[in-house]
Structure 1
């Protein structure tokens, strides 16, 4: 893990992002329980509906679709509560809309897209995920990238998150969007197995 940390730190320095050497290593393979390709594809399929809460869709209608396609086991407890509310708050809408970046990260985990952390999610991202059609074949056929690649992304996003947050706290200009980085980090860390509960994935830096 020290070797991975060193490679990431050197890469970030090469693109003008200095991060402290004293930042800890991320969790090793003996400390995590990685998600399966089915878990990731199922979560991705569920998010295609859940993020609608951020764009004015009715929770009751989204809930109906999630139940129809047997996706409720891939919906987080917080999301289940929001789906059942008549009206959700502005911050909850913002939070749900930002999960498009989680979708980009999870789609990367099963090889549907690439990741460029300097840009928002792909314009055609939604077209790559089943929506209002049976997702069972999509979920069954998903293949996970090598876990070492997901681990490397976890390390990269942790250190990028520290850098972006530090820029905000110190008033420095930053080429990264802290929101993009934090959402992708959450998704990647969940896939890597840092925390099983989506709503509890730690975001400390």
Structure 2
């Protein structure tokens, strides 16, 4: 894990991102319970609907579709509350809007897209996820990337997240978006198995 940390830190320095060498290592494989390809693909399909809250879709309509395609099992408890809310607050809408970056990261985990953390999610991301059609074949046929690749992303996003937060705190220009990095980190750490509960994935730096 020290080697992974060193490699990540050196890579970040090569692209102009300096992070402290004293930042800790992330969890090793003996400390996590990685999600299966089915877990990741199912969660991705569910997110395709949940994200609609950030674009003004009605929660009741989204719930009906999630239930129709047996995807409620992949929706977090917090999201279920938002889907059932009569009125959604502006912050909740914004949070759901940014879930598209979680979707980009999950789609990467099963080989649908690439990740460029300096850019927003792919313009055609939505077209790569089953929507308003039966997702069973998509979920069953999903194949997870090698766990070491997901581990590398977890380490990279942890250090990038520290950098974006530090830039904000000290008022320094940052070429990375904290919203993009934090959402992708949450999704990758969940897939890596840092935390079972999506709503409780730690975001400390």
Where on the TM-score scale, by shorter chain, does this alignment land: which range?
A: over 0.9
When the two chains are superposed, the root-mean-square deviation of aligned CA atoms in Å is 0.4
- Deviation readout 1:62-103 (Å, 9 max, x if unpaired): 000000000011000000011111111110000000000000
Q: Distance in 2 between matches of 1:77 and 1:117?
A: 28
1:28-39 aligned at under 5 Å gives the runs: 28-39=28-39
Tell me, yes or no, if structure 1 residue 68 matches structure 2 residue 68: yes
- Aligned partner of 1:41 in structure 2 is 41
- Deviation readout 1:40-76 (Å, 9 max, x if unpaired): 0000000000000011000000000000000011000
Matched residue of 1:122: which SS?
coil
Runs of 4+ off more than 3 Å: none
Matched residue of 2:51: which SS?
helix
Q: TM-score, normalised by structure 1?
A: 1.00
Tell me, yes or no, if structure 1 residue 85 matches structure 2 residue 85: yes
Q: TM-score, normalised by structure 2?
A: 1.00
Q: Distance in 2 between matches of 1:107 and 1:134?
A: 18
Q: Distance in 1 between matches of 2:110 and 2:194?
A: 18
Corresponding residue pairs, total: 205
- Aligned partner of 2:135 in structure 1 is 135
- Aligned partner of 2:162 in structure 1 is 162
Structure 2 unaligned blocks of 5 or more: none
- Aligned partner of 1:12 in structure 2 is 12
